[in-house]
A and B are shown apart, each in its own frame.
Chain A
Amino acid sequence: EAQVTQNPRYLITVTGKKLTVTCSQNMNHEYMSWYRQDPGLGLRQIYYSMNVEVTDKGDVPEGYKVSRKEKRNFPLILESPSPNQTSLYFCASSIRDNSPLHFGNGTRLTVT
């Protein structure tokens, strides 16, 4: 089954403790991206990647890192999480730029 898989689905952590949210797609998509969803703000893009080893900042990249060492994986790294990063995070992929996005089921992160 074609899908985008994120883990974990729920994560509660404390300020400053490094964490990684994993994202994997099995559709051989070139384009992958991360979004955060906050009430009243819709989805805002954090980072995106056009292909392996090619990443770029989205609209809200501060406090986040990504890497794209393999085509299928695009982990989101929070080196030192803060409470304002409490949010619902979505990973998405598409076959190429400007094609519809396929979304994972989301990761709800709480930073205390």
Chain B
Amino acid sequence: GNSVTQMEGPVTLSEEAFLTINCTYTATGYPSLFWYVQYPGEGLQLLLKATKADDKGSNKGFEATYRKETTSFHLEKGSVQVSDSAVYFCALSDNYGQNFVFGPGTRLSVLP
């Protein structure tokens, strides 16, 4: 079946540091890929998405590129802020959108 693997963390960075959270997936066909963010006490919010190979999703300074050859969708940000502290989930949905599969989440803490 489909699966998503991501670094579990926690990841602790200083403000303005570079962020990478690795995500790899296993899926048949051509899934859509997502990054969601969860702030304390809240539900998940869509951060960015990519629906086909080589697409780059971006939002709020975060970026991720759909790499089919390496089955990866790594999340990056050039300069993190304290307000980026949250849990980040990589996810995929299959061709038919019937089954979203999430990674275990990566907790990011950004220190001032």
Contacts and interface: CB of A to CB of B under 8 A. Distances in A.
A67 interface: no
Contacts of A33: 100
Main secondary structure of the interface of A (DSSP, over half): strand
Number of chain B interface residues as a range: 20 to 34
25 contacts: A4-B43, A31-B97, A40-B104, A42-B102, A43-B44, A43-B89, A43-B102, A48-B98, A56-B98, A59-B99, A90-B43, A92-B43, A97-B97, A98-B94, A100-B46, A100-B49, A101-B36, A101-B46, A101-B100, A103-B44, A103-B45, A105-B41, A105-B43, A106-B42, A106-B43
B104 A41 contact: yes
Number of chain A interface residues as a range: 20 to 34
A50 B42 contact: no
A48 B44 contact: no
B42 A105 contact: yes
Interface string B59-92: 0000000000000000000000000000001010
Contacts of A59: 99
Interface in A36-68: 40-45, 48, 50, 56, 58-59
Interface of B: 4, 8, 32, 34, 36, 41-46, 49, 89, 91, 93-105
Interface of A: 4, 31, 33, 35, 40-45, 48, 50, 56, 58-59, 90, 92, 94, 96-106
A35 B97 CA distance: 15
A109 B86 CA distance: 22
A96 B97 contact: yes
B44 A101 contact: yes
Given A96-B97, A98-B96, A99-B97, A42 B105 contact: yes
B7 to A, nearest CB: 13
Contacts of B93: 97-98
A6 B93 CA distance: 23
Contacts of B91: 43
A42 B97 contact: no
A90 B49 contact: no
